[in-house]
Amino acid sequence: MNEMTPTLDLEGGSRPMRSLRSVAALAEAGLIPPERVVGLEAAASRYAVAVTPAMADLIDPTDLRDPIARQFVPDPSELTTTPDERADPIGDDVHEVVPGLIHRYPDRALLKFTSVCAVYCRFCFRRETVGQGAGIMSETALADALAYVRARPAIWEVIVSGGDPLVATPRRLKTLTEVLGNIDHVRVVRFHTRVPVVAPERVTPDLVDALVAPGKTTWVAIHANHPRELTPATRAALAHLADAGVPLVSQTVLLKGVNDDVETLATLMRAFVEARVKPYYLHHADLAPGTSRFRTSLEEGRALVKALRGRVSGLCQPTYVLDIPGGHGKVPIGPQYVGHREGVCIIEDFSGKRHAYRPADPTES
């Protein structure tokens, strides 16, 4: 356990990340015009800023609606909190059993291993806490969290999140997976990360090796929101993980102005599948402070997911979910295809046509 110290080393592979961490740096890199700097300083001082070279290279500064810039460049609207928004939009605090460990569902617990990320998304549901503090869980906090997990045999899966756990060094990650590997009832370790997308150079053989817990199954959930994020370098990083036998699933947030049209979503989901990443969740944007510019309505989201059905392969279908505010967990909120009329099931197909379905009554046979 002495390997776990509060100091976070953000260097990996052959070079440091050299992220842009201020609006002045964004302006110097040509990603925003100089006249916008003053207007964005307040938002940047309120919520952390970081844009990696990989993401900076994707931003088109001539396009005011650029979907990559929209995710990472601060905006003055972030200082406006609507009445329905809350600092803890999914109710982490309600289920934080010891500092840094969330136990919301009976068979799994989420470990907030780091409080920093490689990039800071402007829609992040943990934006009130990420980008602050020492970066990694203290030795004491981690020991307390692991003791809680050891004492509860019902915990079958540990989700390692943050922040982004893959900004930690392979050495620190290896120590964590080895400790989890020694807890008999923990059978699955899942890492949630944006690193293979936003800093693919960090996915080295040492990092891939560090994610594998002896005797356990490791899964990695990859967060990407727009098909342009799946660059050749990102696809190579994902291939390193898949080739090592690590199953990959995706997480995407439905974001207005980024991916709220069916063609963008379809292209993204196909790109995931081509990269051996199974589409998993499409999240309805959470009620985090200052994020109203990103949220669609539930009706718009349901219509988009319905439009995907029949348009793309079943392999490409994510589950559209809402994390109920207040800590009540995720629920699927996708479209419905089954109705009833006069005792008959009415089934709607992918093109919108309705069909009567009269299953045989098993009691009559």
Catalytic residue among 260, 286, 316, 320: 286
Q: Hey, what amino acid is at 199?
A: A
Catalytic residue among 21, 36, 105, 256: 105
Q: Is 126 one of the annotated active-site residues of the chain?
A: yes
What whole-number distance in Å separates Cα of residue 233 and Cα of residue 122? 24
Catalytic residue among 70, 75, 120, 124: 124
Q: Is 121 one of the annotated active-site residues of the chain?
A: yes
Catalytic residue among 21, 36, 46, 108: 108
Q: Is 316 one of the annotated active-site residues of the chain?
A: no
248-254 β-sheet, strand order = 96-98, 101-105, 108-112, 157-161, 188-193, 217-223, 248-254, 278-284, 319-324, 329-332
The residue with tokens 């207007």 is 39
Q: Is 124 one of the annotated active-site residues of the chain?
A: yes
What whole-number distance in Å separates Cα of residue 300 and Cα of residue 177? 40
CA atoms within 13 A on the CB side of 301: 23
Catalytic residue among 112, 121, 202, 316: 121
Catalytic residue among 126, 172, 190, 202: 126
Instruction: Report DSSP letters for 286-300, one per residue.
Output: P--TT-GGGPPPHHH
Q: Is 323 one of the annotated active-site residues of the chain?
A: yes
Q: Is 171 one of the annotated active-site residues of the chain?
A: no
Q: Is 202 one of the annotated active-site residues of the chain?
A: no
Q: Is 104 one of the annotated active-site residues of the chain?
A: yes
Report which of 173, 191, 172, 179 is spatially closest to residue 149, judged by C-alpha positions. 179
Instruction: Report DSSP letters for 235-259, one per residue.
Output: HHHHHHHHHTT--EEEEEEE-TTTT
Catalytic residue among 47, 88, 112, 117: 117
Catalytic residue among 66, 75, 164, 323: 323
Residues designated as active site: 104-105, 108, 117, 121, 124, 126, 286, 323, 330
